[in-house]
């Protein structure tokens, strides 16, 4: 285990952070605009989100770089800013974290499907190597919200070239029992493949609420000796008058998180629909 | 040709090389392409859909079967066209204005192609004007719109309204889909249908085309 992980991990789960996109929108990020671009144009507001999580008790915060691989930024017309946006993302989170939290830099999917031939493995690998290198000033890298195990494996291999610990986290939201990735992989298949690809932490995020991720966490835990990372949504989204609403309250979310502790999960945070209030509630329940 | 059942298996297992070879052999042997399509390929795709709904198949299996269908239909379609047979339907598809996500849209496009539809893919961030121009120029009877974000979903309504304003609403059926989209939303904006996945989208497109 890397020294960073050894230092972080104890008997209780490490509290990570919650959603960023919705928080940025609350601060005025226009709909449809690439949030990552704000690292350059509105660093103070991005910093405000990072700070709100540190203040709420996050011991690990991510970065506003989820879409900052070359393939995705090209679609947003920001291809020439890849390095700057990633570097600024780490700097902003680092500034907010100070010595109170570690910075795990976020790497999301390319948004293209390998098996449809929309991108080649080499293009995906190169894009993730480029992004990972630009994030090298972080404490660790988090490959998150992956739906395709193949893309996740390529991302892990690419991220490992930097030498930082790598978290690899996938979305489980498909199949009868909502325990498969979109491409049909089970928690066991994911754990095995990503452990073999060299990940240091394996996890699940987005797609399901706390309830859905408790059994997934237990299965991941059984399938790999590596620490487990879980960031569920605030329940399942409902559409009310054209707005997405998440019904789970911070207190319910935190109460359900007890089961993640019991399952031996190492890192707990939130994804879509969560906010600093959720992190504060997790902190109170899991690290009183 | 003695064993057309092989065609069924090629589609079911997504073996596009076999699908193409068997199609060519069957056509060389004088098999009626319509028989091949109706008796083997469409039932095979139906079984693929059933397995998907039953969680035996997932997206990769859907995609390779759709690809095998497409490979075979590429050989068959010119023959059918020469007889004056029309495709299952003509669909203009795109991700709406402001939204750059294309995985869902591409899955639906692939499945529709596999089902014998002629698909005109306008890509992502498609303005209402682009949809209308394509509808008019290509005489498509169906529009399929996708959005992943709640913030861009409203472009679906704008597009439906623009199609009505352009005076072509009665010539097309409109179907929508994407993570935040629901049947309720489809009803609210006056779309003709909604489907929650790429397999269901094919059944919906067939239903709307027949209506």
Per-residue model confidence as pLDDT tens digits over A254-286: 999 999 999 999 999 999 999 999 999 999 999
Please give the residue that has the higher pLDDT: either B150 or B130: B130
Which residue of chain B comes nearest to A241, CA vs CA?
B185
The whole-number average pLDDT for the span A77-101 is 97
CATH class of B90-210: alpha beta
Q: Give the per-residue pLDDT at A251.
A: 97
In total, the C-beta contacts within 8 angstroms joining chain A to chain B are: 59
Q: Where are the alpha helices (DSSP H) in A98-146?
A: 121-134
Question: Which of B16, B54, B60 is the best mutation test for A, with the most CBs of A within 10 A?
Answer: B60
The whole-number average pLDDT for the span A191-200 is 98
Read off the pTM.
Answer: 0.91
Residue A272: name the closest of A14, A12, A90, A25 by CA: A25
Per residue in A97-112, pLDDT tens?
Answer: 999 999 999 999 999 9
For residue B101, the chain A residues in CB contact (below 8 A) are 111
Per residue in A210-267, pLDDT tens?
Answer: 999 999 999 999 999 999 999 999 988 777 776 778 889 999 999 999 999 999 999 9
Asked if B149 reaches chain A (Cβ–Cβ under 8 Å), the answer is yes
What are chain A's domains? 3-286 (3.20.20.330)
Residue B105, min C-alpha distance to chain A (Å)? 11
Per residue in B38-80, pLDDT tens?
Answer: 899 999 999 999 999 898 999 999 999 999 999 999 999 888 8
Q: Give the per-residue pLDDT at B88.
A: 83
Residue B150, min C-alpha distance to chain A (Å)? 7
For residue A244, the chain B residues in CB contact (below 8 A) are 150, 180
| DSSP secondary structure letters along B39-61 | IIIHHHHHHHHHHHHTTSS-HHH
CB contact under 8 A, A183 and B59: yes
Banded pLDDT at B1 (limits 50, 70, 90): low
In this model, does residue A63 exceed pLDDT 80?
yes
For residue B152, the chain A residues in CB contact (below 8 A) are 31-32
Asked if B61 reaches chain A (Cβ–Cβ under 8 Å), the answer is yes
CATH class of B2-82: mainly alpha
Asked if B79 reaches chain A (Cβ–Cβ under 8 Å), the answer is no
Contact A140, A165 (CB under 8 A): yes
CB contact under 8 A, A180 and B58: yes
CA A146 to chain centre: 9
Question: Residue B102 has which token pair?
Answer: 């294309």
Q: Give the per-residue pLDDT at A31.
A: 75
Helices B198-210 and B42-53, axial angle in degrees (round to 10): 130
The whole-number average pLDDT for the span B76-96 is 89
- CB count in 10 Å sphere of residue A98: 9
Residue A16 to residue B45: CA distance in whole angstroms: 45
Dihedral sign for Cα B156, B123, A184, A253, please.
negative
- Please give the C-alpha separations between residue A248 and each of A6, A187, A202, A245, in angstroms, as whole numbers: 33, 24, 25, 9
Contact A214, A202 (CB under 8 A): no
CB burial of residue A287 (10 Å; 0-12, 13-18, 19+): middle
| Domain residue extents for chain B | 2-82, 90-210
ipTM of this predicted complex? 0.81
Residue A98 to residue A109: CA distance in whole angstroms: 28
Which residue of chain A comes nearest to B185, CA vs CA?
A242
Question: Which of B67, B147, B151, B176 is the best mutation test for A, with the most CBs of A within 10 A?
Answer: B151
Banded pLDDT at B192 (limits 50, 70, 90): very high
Nearest-by-Cβ selection for A32 from B98, B180, B185: B98
Contact A141, B86 (CB under 8 A): no
Residue B40, min C-alpha distance to chain A (Å)? 25
Residue A182, min C-alpha distance to chain B (Å)? 7
- Please give the C-alpha separations between residue A147 and each of A15, A18, A112, A218, B126, in angstroms, as whole numbers: 24, 20, 11, 19, 25
- Please give the C-alpha separations between residue B41 and each of A137, B6, B111, B114, B122, in angstroms, as whole numbers: 54, 10, 13, 10, 27
Residue A19 to residue B52: CA distance in whole angstroms: 32
Contact A19, A275 (CB under 8 A): yes
């Amino acid at each position: 285990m890397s020294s960073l992980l050894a230092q972080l991990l104890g008997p209780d789960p490490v509290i990570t952070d919650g959603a960023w996109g919705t928080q940025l929108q609350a601060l005025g990020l226009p709909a449809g605009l690439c949030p990552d671009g704000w690292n350059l144009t509105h660093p103070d507001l991005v910093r405000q989100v990072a700070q709100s999580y540190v203040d709420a008790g996050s011991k690990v915060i991510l970065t506003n770089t989820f879409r900052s691989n070359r393939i995705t930024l090209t679609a947003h017309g920001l291809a020439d800013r890849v390095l700057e946006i990633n570097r600024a993302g780490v700097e902003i989170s680092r500034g907010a974290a100070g010595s109170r939290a570690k910075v795990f830099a976020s790497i999301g999917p390319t948004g293209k499907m390998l098996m449809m031939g929309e991108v080649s493995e080499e293009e995906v690998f190169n894009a993730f190597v480029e992004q990972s290198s630009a994030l090298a000033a972080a404490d660790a890298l988090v490959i998150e919200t992956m739906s395709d195990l193949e893309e996740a494996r390529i991302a892990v291999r690419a991220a490992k070239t930097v030498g930082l610990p790598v978290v690899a986290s996938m979305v489980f939201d498909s199949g009868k029992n909502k325990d498969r990735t979109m491409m049909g992989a089970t928690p066991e298949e994911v754990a095995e493949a990503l452990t073999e690809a060299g990940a240091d932490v394996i996890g699940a995020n987005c797609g399901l609420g706390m309830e859905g991720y408790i059994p997934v966490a237990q299965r991941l835990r059984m399938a790999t000796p590596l620490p487990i990372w879980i960031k569920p949504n605030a329940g399942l989204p409902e559409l009310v008058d054209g707005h997405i609403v998440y019904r789970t309250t911070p207190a319910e979310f935190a109460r359900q998180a007890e089961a993640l502790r019991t399952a031996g999960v190492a890192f707990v945070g939130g994804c879509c629909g969560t906010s600093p209030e959720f992190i504060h509630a997790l902190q109170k329940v899991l690290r009183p | 040709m003695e064993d057309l059942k092989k065609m069924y298996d090629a589609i079911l297992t997504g073996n596009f090389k076999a699908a193409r070879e068997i199609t060519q052999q069957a056509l060389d042997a004088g098999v009626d392409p319509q028989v091949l399509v109706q008796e083997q390929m469409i039932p095979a795709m139906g079984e693929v859909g059933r397995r998907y709904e039953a969680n035996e198949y997932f997206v990769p299996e859907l995609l390779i079967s759709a690809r095998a269908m497409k490979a075979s239909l590429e050989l068959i379609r010119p023959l059918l066209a020469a007889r004056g047979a029309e495709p299952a339907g003509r669909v203009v598809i795109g991700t709406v204005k402001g939204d750059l996500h294309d995985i869902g849209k591409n899955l639906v496009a692939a499945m529709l192609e596999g089902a014998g539809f002629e698909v005109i893919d306008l890509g992502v961030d498609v303005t209402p004007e682009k949809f209308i121009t394509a509808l008019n120029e290509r005489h498509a009877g169906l529009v399929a719109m996708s959005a992943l974000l709640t913030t861009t979903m409203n472009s679906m309504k704008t597009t439906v309204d623009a199609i009505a304003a352009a005076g072509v609403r009665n010539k097309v059926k409109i179907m929508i889909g994407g993570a935040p989209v629901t049947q309720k939303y489809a009803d609210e904006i006056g779309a003709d249908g909604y489907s929650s996945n790429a397999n269901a989208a094919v059944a919906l497109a067939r239903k709307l085309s027949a209506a």
